[in-house]
Amino acid sequence: IGFGPGYHQMHPELQWQPVLSDDFVCVTSQGMLASEEAMSLDEFCASPHVFPTPWISEKNMVDSWLDKVGRSRNVLVRANGYQACVNIVAAVPATVALPARLLPHLRIAPGLKVCKPPLGFPSFTLDMIWSRDRSDSKDISSLRALVEAVAQTLLTER
């Protein structure tokens, strides 16, 4: 399982299939935003950020997108979970970008704003990845079917 869309498709020995997709939202304690609906790119880059670190890398797909558009962000602090990120944003003026699917599962403090990210912000997929050589394996096929069924259940809950 990995994140995409299609980041793994370049390797000729891998087969991949997206099983879930989601967009990001921004949770911010920054005061006045130009729009109630979405942050501008300037507002997003000017805000200090809380960086969720379920992964080890120094950057994630948000930073890669910002690099592509010639911008960057200032990471104020890293936190090990999305709720921890939201708690930090509630305590200091900052912003966190997180998957929209998580919002119903987080405690969003009063006074925090949930808004759309800047125009052009990436979305992502959760991809199932396997070796092309094992595509016909009964075990791999069964596991893929199980992952697809779980993902379908998550889609209907949304």
15-57 confidence digits (pLDDT tens): 888 888 899 999 999 877 777 789 999 999 999 999 988 666 7
What are 100-137's pLDDT values in tens digits? 999 999 999 999 999 999 999 999 888 888 888 887 88
CA distance 49 to 152: 33
What order do you get walking across the sheet with 113-115 strand by strand? 74-79, 48-52, 95-99, 24-28, 113-115
Residue 43: C-alpha distances to residues 86, 118, 133, 142 (Å): 18, 9, 47, 46
Taking the model in full, what pTM does it have?
Answer: 0.82
